[in-house]
Amino acid sequence: MTALRRLAMLGIAGAVACSPPNRPNSDIRLWTQDFEIRAWSDVTPPVSLEPIHYTIVVRDKKTKEPIADGQGRIYVTNVDRLTKWDGFKYGPEVGTYHATLMFPAAGEWALGIQFRRDSTKLLQKTVEDWRQTVYVGDEPGAPSTIAPPAAAVPPVALPVPATPAAAAKTAAPAKTAKP
């Protein structure tokens, strides 16, 4: 009976291991001369004028070991040669880095990554850039579609006249033409 129970537990563990991740599979896979790089964003597809957080996992191409405490950057360029970039911040997970980009315009963007193990090595550029379509976001200053919390809007008491005669007294006098 214990052998059957172990086999059932092994089957359940295999099913859990093969289950889909809790995020959509939007990984971009890139390679340099020495590194294998996986990157994904928290917003897919990205929209302009909003910060887009990227998570980048870097491994050694030969040993498949994660690269800890490396240096790198992610950069984007559009057809108008507008370029933005951000340096990697080392994450809590081994071999994981984080960067944030804001696309100032919608359209087609080319993205690339450069990385090195440490400051004594040269930056290695990914073999190919990837293309990303960025959609139009809300304009700055546009009214938000999310209502502010009730505590953020102070209540305003407006005087309410009791009768129409009282309302006429508080109203501004009308201008009359002189004869």
36-45, 51-60, 138-147: range with highest mean pLDDT: 51-60
- Write the DSSP string, 101-147: EE-SS-EEEEEEEEEESSTTSPPEE-SS-EEEEEB--PPTTPPPSSP
Domain boundaries, the chain: 22-134
What is the reported pLDDT for 175? Answer: 53
Lowest mean pLDDT among 48-52, 100-104, 150-154: 150-154
Contacts of 5 (CB under 8 A, 6+ apart): none
What is the reported pLDDT for 157? Answer: 46
For residue 36, is pLDDT > 80? Answer: yes
Q: 22-134 has which fold?
A: Immunoglobulin-like (2.60.40)
Q: What is the pLDDT of residues 159-179, one digit of tens each?
A: 555 555 555 555 555 555 555
Q: Taking the complete model, does pTM exceed 0.75, yes or no?
A: no
